[in-house]
Amino acid sequence: MPSKKRESDKKSETPQKKLAAEQKFMQPVIRTVREGSLVHCYLACGHTITMHKEDLTESSLSSIECWACEEENKRALP
């Protein structure tokens, strides 16, 4: 009988995990520092994302998807 309960628990967790995977963690860029062909973007969340200059667009300088926040959120889920 306990195995059936575990299966139902797994089913209820699935939508939460899907939602977390689909959620975008956009963060405002506080400042940028250009270093050669790299741009370091300091985000409001406290993380720093470094990208190649050619990968940036003017719109991406106002906010960037923070993969570090996304990873932290995945770890926080039960």
Q: Amino acid identity of 7?
A: E
Is the pTM higher than 0.85? The answer reads: no
Average pLDDT over residues 35-58: 92
Say if residue 20's pLDDT is above 50.
no
Say if residue 57's pLDDT is above 80.
no
Residues 69, 66: Cα–Cα separation, whole Å: 6
Tell me the pLDDT band of 23, cut-offs 50, 70 and 90. Answer: low
Q: How many C-beta atoms lie closer than 10 Å to residue 55's C-beta? A: 10
Tell me the pLDDT band of 47, cut-offs 50, 70 and 90. Answer: very high
